[in-house]
């Protein structure tokens, strides 16, 4: 069992200082130096690709401002995220409206503000973008099967290769700007080869579209780069190598700009949640695992624990002592608010009410997904440590 461990990458001294400071729990502490490190490592590994941060992972204003300062671009899902990026100092030319489902008035508003690029995967959405953002760059999203991903995205988004060609040709015919293709191999993708497989399909689409007078200008490698939770995954350099080789092999005859859209990859490992044990309960079932109730749960940021898809590494004050199987649950009066039951955690037998525990790699999709106050529990509070 790997849960009862320190962070996969460790905590900085200043994060540890916050964790020792007695702040009321639960809270998320996010270290922007870690974000900067992840950003620079990715830039260096994928030298040719522009990095568009997927704002949905964590839209804290200080985080966005730090990424602006680092030179990052932004993948936005709504006019709300457009405005958040502009407020953080990003020029509109650094934004890309990546949601394939957009309100018509938001397309027009974003276009009016100078956002240059809009994603589509359907003829009706393309017609909407043509009408509301005439001449804008258009990126057509290809469907991927999501094999190897923690959160496959295949059902809701993307179109097949033939439809993609038709959309590119139609966009050209309607006078739209630079044409792109995007894909998303699925969030927390463990197989670098997923990008190679997708790039082969991209190449077939690009060939067919070019033959019909719609040459490709941009390839968007999407998101899906993983963060470390409970299992060791390849380093980003391994992904970069597969992607670079795939581009050489499949797309050498196309002159394309490259874009990548990491969300989780940039921010997950920058965040640590500190929570408190509210109750250790054995109830009356001596044979079953005990229950550990924390003051954080699926309604206060741990939505990705649903289905037990993401297993946050945990640290406790009793690490090193004897372990026992433990169901981990959140504090609400809601049976859905159980984090790990199908596969209980191995946690120290000595764990007790009032102990503080840390959940590592918790910077993505936590403070972003907290509810406004279900059960009277306030939204997950976030403490952001600035770039040093």
Beta bridge partners of 381: 27
Q: Least distance in Å: CB of 194 to a copy of itself?
A: 16
Q: Which is nearer to a copy of itself, 113 or 279 (CB)?
A: 279
Q: Judged by CB under 8 A, which stretch of 28-36, 148-156, 170-178, 211-219 contacts a copy of itself?
A: 148-156
Q: Give the range of 132-140, 160-168, 226-234, 355-363 binding a copy of itself by CB under 8 A.
A: 160-168
Q: Is 388 among the residues that bind a copy of itself (CB under 8 A)?
A: no
CB of 114 to a copy of itself, least distance (A): 17
Question: Residue 245 in contact with residue 76, Cβ under 8 Å?
Answer: no
Q: Position of tokens 């196309």?
A: 254
Number of residues that bind a copy of itself (CB under 8 A): 73
Nearest CB to a copy of itself, comparing residues 255 and 284: 284
CB 194 within 8 A of CB 237: no
The stretch near a copy of itself (CB under 8 A) out of 13-21, 159-167, 314-322, 356-364 is: 159-167
Q: What are phi and psi of 33, to 5 degrees?
A: -65, -35
**What 3-state class would DSSP assign to 304?**
helix
Whole-number Å distance between alpha carbons of 7 and 358? 9
Could you check whether the bond before residue 26 is cis, i.e. omega within 30 degrees of 0?
A: yes
Name which of 126 and 247 has its Cβ closer to a copy of itself: 126
Alpha carbon distance 140, 146 (integer Å): 17
Cα of first residue to Cα of last residue in the chain, in angstroms, is 35
Q: Does 332 contact a copy of itself by CB under 8 A?
A: yes
Q: Which of 312, 270, 314 is nearest to 5 (CA)?
A: 314
Does position 283 interact with a copy of itself (CB under 8 A)? The reply is yes
Q: Which stretch binds a copy of itself (CB under 8 A): 2-10, 120-128, 168-176, 194-202?
A: 120-128
Q: Interface with a copy of itself includes 22 (CB under 8 A)? A: no
* CA dist list (Å): 140 to 189, 224, 293, 334, 360: 21, 18, 45, 40, 35
**Binding of a copy of itself by 234 (CB under 8 A):** no
Closer to a copy of itself at the Cβ: 69 or 279?
Answer: 279
Rounded least distance, CB 369 to a copy of itself, Å: 5
Closest approach of a copy of itself to the CB of residue 244, in Å:
26
Q: Answer yes or no: are the C-beta atoms of 108 and 130 closer than 8 Å.
A: no
Among residue numbers 33 through 72, which ones bind a copy of itself (CB under 8 A)? 54-56, 59
Nearest CA-CA partner of 74 in 241, 266, 329: 266
Does 284 bind a copy of itself (CB under 8 A)? Our answer is yes
- Figure out which of the listed residues 3, 31, 269, 337 binds a copy of itself, where binding follows CB under 8 A: 337
Question: Does residue number 208 form part of the binding site for a copy of itself (CB under 8 A)?
Answer: no
Single out the segment in contact with a copy of itself by CB under 8 A; choices: 34-42, 44-52, 66-74, 96-104.
96-104
Q: Cβ–Cβ contacts within 10 Å for residue 379, how many?
A: 15
CA atoms within 13 A on the CB side of 302: 34
Pairing of strands 356-359, 314-315: antiparallel
**196 near a copy of itself, rule: CB under 8 A:** no
162 binds a copy of itself (CB under 8 A): yes
Tell me: does residue 342 bind a copy of itself (CB under 8 A): no
387 binds a copy of itself (CB under 8 A): no
Q: Which stretch binds a copy of itself (CB under 8 A): 9-17, 88-96, 246-254, 373-381?
A: 373-381
Does residue 348 bind a copy of itself (CB under 8 A)?
no
Binding flag, residue 80, a copy of itself (CB under 8 A):
yes
Nearest to 29 by CA among 265, 279, 362, 329: 362
Paired strand residues for 74: 53, 95
């Amino acid at each position: 069992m790997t849960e009862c461990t320190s962070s996969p990458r460790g905590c900085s001294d200043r994060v540890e200082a916050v964790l020792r400071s007695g702040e009321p729990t639960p809270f998320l502490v996010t270290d922007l130096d870690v974000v900067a490190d992840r950003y620079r490592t990715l830039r260096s590994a994928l030298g040719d690709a522009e990095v568009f941060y997927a704002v949905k992972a964590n839209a804290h204003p200080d985080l966005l401002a730090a990424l602006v300062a680092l030179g990052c671009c932004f993948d936005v899902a709504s006019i709300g995220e457009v405005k958040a990026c502009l407020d953080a100092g990003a020029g509109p030319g650094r934004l890309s409206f990546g949601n394939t489902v957009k309100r018509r008035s938001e397309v027009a508003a974003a276009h009016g503000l100078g956002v240059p690029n809009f994603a589509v995967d359907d003829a009706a959405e393309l017609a909407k973008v043509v009408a509301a953002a005439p001449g804008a760059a258009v990126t057509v999203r290809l469907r991927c099967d999501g094999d190897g991903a923690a959160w496959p995205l295949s059902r809701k988004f993307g179109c097949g290769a033939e439809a993609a060609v038709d959309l590119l040709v139609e966009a050209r015919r309607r006078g739209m700007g630079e044409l792109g293709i995007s894909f998303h191999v699925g969030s927390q993708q463990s197989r670098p080869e997923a990008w190679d497989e997708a790039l082969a399909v991209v190449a077939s689409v690009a060939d067919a579209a070019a033959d019909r007078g719609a040459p490709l200008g941009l390839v968007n490698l999407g998101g899906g780069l993983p963060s470390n939770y409970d299992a060791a995954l390849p380093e980003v350099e391994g992904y970069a190598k597969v992607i670079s080789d795939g581009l050489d092999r499949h797309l050498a005859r196309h002159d394309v700009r490259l874009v990548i859209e990491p969300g989780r990859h940039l921010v997950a490992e920058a965040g640590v949640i500190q929570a408190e044990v509210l109750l250790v309960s054995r109830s009356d079932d001596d044979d079953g695992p005990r229950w550990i109730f924390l003051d954080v749960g699926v309604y206060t940021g741990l939505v990705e624990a649903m289905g037990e898809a993401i297993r946050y590494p945990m640290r406790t004050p009793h690490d090193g002592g004897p372990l026992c199987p433990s169901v981990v649950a959140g504090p609400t009066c809601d049976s859905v608010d159980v984090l790990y039951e199908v596969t209980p955690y191995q946690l120290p037998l000595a764990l007790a009410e009032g102990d503080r525990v840390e959940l590592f790699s918790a910077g993505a999709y936590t403070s972003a997904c907290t509810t406004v106050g279900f059960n009277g529990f306030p939204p997950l509070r976030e403490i952001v440590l600035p770039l040093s």
